[in-house]
Structure 1
């Protein structure tokens, strides 16, 4: 299988996972279990598979967020809700959201879950802490919640590999976000809202990238920067692809998931632009 197909599969797996951050059911689920505010819900929910870890672990595995934003939520999150309760609520809320947004997803889940489970089992967990933690989460009995958990595991597998590539290229969380924003034509000040970096930190990071020839003085991406970003994405595909080679027909999995991923993307609940890299369809 061509490594680039890993990106095509990501384009339908990511929307199924992403409801956990933006859907009202999931935001409310975090509140119901005891987490306080959107960011505690985000960091507590996403980190819960690793257990009640300290802030440093979350900073390392999430990579792209300002440490101060992480430390406002973790480890306090574990004093409001246990990781076990968060995991239960997270899967149940995601299943509710997916059933609302994608009618027919129960039938799709029954067919897709064996394929997704095979990919999760085949994926290499070496050096991939967030993926390995998700893979060890017991798969829910509810087929739609199980579909969501498989999607979460596979998106974190890709994400862990992506962060390894960024680190190899000498890009920290701020600079990797700035380069991605420049390539995608996203205003840098969005990183204050979505990642917690100050205007001063953003200016300093952009100046550093300009000194490396990756950005122009006006903040637009250079040919060298665009080439680096393309190389990062290609290498991310190469690291993610082996998980899907166990499938006899990866295109069939894409065709199966696309009709339930599309309504999530078209729901208006996923913000555009977004730092995740998802594009409008």
Structure 2
């Protein structure tokens, strides 16, 4: 199987997962659970499968955020809402959002969720803490919630692998953000706002990449673009094995494209976005 199918599937699975960050149903559910503000909701809901972990665990696994942004939310989040409480509401809220946004999601979920869960079951969890925690959650009875959970587990599988590739290339959370902006995948302002770094810290990280010959004049050099391409290719290769359990990955991609497009068209998820996600079919 061509590793590029893993990237194609990411472009359709990530939007289904990402409703949990952008859509009103999910933001309101975090608030009703007791989490205070957007960032406590984000860190608490995404980290909940790992249990009441300390801030250091979230900093390590989420990777790209300034440590102070994490520590303003964790471990305080667990005083307001237990991981068990959060897990009881996050998938159901995402399913409500998908039902509102995506025409025909019931049929899509009934067909796609069992296939995706086979991929989840086949995937190795070694070295992938966020994936391993999500993989071990019970599969919901509701097919739309099951679709969201499978999309979530597989995107965390990819993300854990991506972090491993970045660290192997000598990049930390900040320098990886700077490199992504330098190749045009995201904008510096998006990353400064969403990840919590200061302009001074950003500039220092950019200087470090200049010293490595990866950035010049605010944009990636040929070497920087080659490194970013290598990172993405290796990420695709590490993300591909679960899809060996899928009989026809291209058919699965085609099935999910309309749902991913409906999420994009809803307008809550920006393009470009801090995730670096292109619209489906434009990876």
Do the two structures share a fold, i.e. TM-score over 0.5?
yes
Between the two proteins, the alignment pairs up a number of residues equal to 280
**Structure 2 residue aligned with 1:227:** 226
1:9-29 per-residue CA deviation (whole Å, 9 max, x = no partner) reads 111000100000000110111
After superposition, the Cα gap between the structure-2 partners of 1:280 and 1:246, relative to the gap in structure 1 and judged at 3 Å, is: closer
2:207, 2:75 → 1: CA distance? Answer: 33
Give the CA deviation at 1:272.
2.3
CA contact (8 A) 1:189 1:199 kept: no
Q: How does 1:117-156 map to 2 (within 5 A)?
A: 117-156=117-156
The whole-number CA distance in structure 1 between the counterparts of 2:187 and 2:50 is: 33
Q: Does residue 252 in structure 1 map to residue 227 in structure 2? A: no
2:54 is equivalent to residue 54 of structure 1: yes
Checking the alignment, whether the CA contact within 8 Å between 2:61 and 2:129 is kept in structure 1 is yes
Superposition RMSD on alpha carbons, in Å? 1.0
Asked if residue 90 in structure 1 is aligned to residue 90 in structure 2, the reply is: yes
Unaligned regions of 5+ residues in structure 1, if any?
Answer: none
Q: So what's the TM-score if we normalise by structure 1?
A: 0.98
Measured after TM superposition, the shift of residue 280 of structure 1 is 4.2
C-alpha distance in 2 between matches for 1:76 and 1:185: 33
Provide closer, same or farther for how the CA distance between residues 186 and 247 of structure 1 changes in structure 2, counting only shifts above 3 A: closer
- In the TM superposition, residue 191 of structure 1 has moved relative to its aligned partner by 2.1
4+ aligned runs moved over 6 Å, structure 1 = none
1: CA distance between counterparts of 2:220 and 2:185? 9
Q: Distance in 2 between matches of 1:106 and 1:272?
A: 26
CA distance in 2, matches of 1:246, 1:280: 25
Measure the CA separation in 2 of the matches of 1:238 and 1:13.
17
Unaligned segments of structure 2, at least 5 residues: none
Contact 2:64 2:195 in 1 (8 A): yes
Shift, 1:228, TM fit? 0.2
Is the 8 Å Cα contact of residues 48 and 87 (structure 1) preserved in structure 2? yes
Cα distance in 2, alignment partners of residues 169 and 267 from structure 1? 36
Post-superposition offset of 1:187: 3.3
2:103 and 2:44 map into 1 onto residues whose CA distance is: 29
Aligned partners of 1:43 and 1:73 also within 8 Å: yes
Secondary structure of 1:272's match? coil
The residue aligned with 2:179 is 179
Calculate the TM-score normalised by the size of structure 2: 0.97
Per-residue Cα deviation, 1:84-131 (whole angstroms, up to 9, x for no partner): 111111101100000011021011111111110110011111100000
Following the alignment from structure 1 to structure 2, what is the Cα–Cα distance between the partners of residues 152 and 243? 14
